[in-house]
Amino acid sequence: MNLNQVTLPTLDLERSAAFYRALGFVQIVASPPRYARFECPDGGATFSLHLAAAVPVESGVVVYFECPDLDERCEALRKQGIRFESGPADQPWLWREARLRDPDGNELCLYRAGENRRFPPWRVVIKAGKEG
């Protein structure tokens, strides 16, 4: 099994699509006024936006985008007028993170983790031949 994509709600498709293009994502589907899909510039993962009647105020969902050049990218985005809520800052879980929200309030985290994304020092050891 592999994660295909994440879909985020938006109240204004064109405004949000412009925001994600400004972040550097490649728009691969445009079906206004209801839907847009984007490809990450590295790795081929995708995510989409869909027009919604309302956006949850606090969904608890955070969408993470890994950036090997996190500090430089955040600085370039700030110069374009993108506002960050925090960071970039080192975290105790060995990631460096910057937090922001898209125009609809969806929480995003731009981060750099390297090998610690999948292989942190506290990774669970899975024994061969055992399920569960």
Range of the domain at 38: 5-117
Q: Which residue reads 């994660």 in tokens?
A: 3
Q: pLDDT tens digits for the chain (132 residues)?
A: 777 789 999 999 999 999 999 999 999 999 999 999 999 988 788 999 999 999 888 878 899 999 999 999 999 999 999 999 998 999 999 999 999 999 999 999 999 999 999 889 998 988 876 555
pLDDT at 130: 56
The total of structural domains in the chain comes to 1
Dist CA 102 CA 8 (whole Å):
10
In a domain, residue 58? The reply is yes
In a domain, residue 36? The reply is yes
In a domain, residue 40? The reply is yes
Q: Write the CATH number for 87.
A: 3.10.180.10
For residue 9, count other CB atoms closer than 10 A to its CB.
Answer: 17
pTM of the model: 0.86
